[in-house]
Chain A
Amino acid sequence: QKEVEQDPGPLSVPEGAIVSLNCTYSNSAFQYFMWYRQYSRKGPELLMYTYSSGNKEDGRFTAQVDKSSKYISLFIRDSQPSDSATYLCAMSANFNKFYFGSGTKLNVKP
């Protein structure tokens, strides 16, 4: 069983839509949760970081963690064509090792 499950998409939405990206995980020891964005032919870059359960907002982006359900989400409001990328969730129990999802490819159409 994979440590982290993520729907690969692709997800295609019109500009201005609200986007919801999700991951589930199996290891209850995970307490650090990250979202990375990866553009084509580039390495991933950190978008959001959350510790334990709860919500975190940064501009148009909101990260949610529900540890009881082992479920994390990233919401993008007012999506823009420049948001078109692959979004990877990542998580860790103790910062020694990190476990990444396979990524969801998002396409925002103008």
Chain B
Amino acid sequence: QQQVKQSPQSLIVQKGGIPIINCAYENTAFDYFPWYQQFPGKGPALLIAIRPDVSEKKEGRFTISFNKSAKQFSLHIMDSQPGDSATYFCAASLGNNDMRFGAGTRLTVKP
């Protein structure tokens, strides 16, 4: 049962643009929401994470916006660069080690 829906499936932006990736969840018991970045042939790398008591978190060029009432959260990448081209996964954890991943968004940043 998919509990985290991620969109879009793919995204193309120009260098300097601000790609936005969205995720929606169903289970209000989720209490930890990480984002992972994955390059081809590599494992997912933890990028940034948020807990539901916070509405926004920034780390460098990456920002998570969290809307608890709508059960949605999104990743914004400021001043995107070609090196940001990768697949991004959102995830949600129930606190019992059961982490559910979205299907991924393939981001391409054109020079």
Binding between chains A and B: no
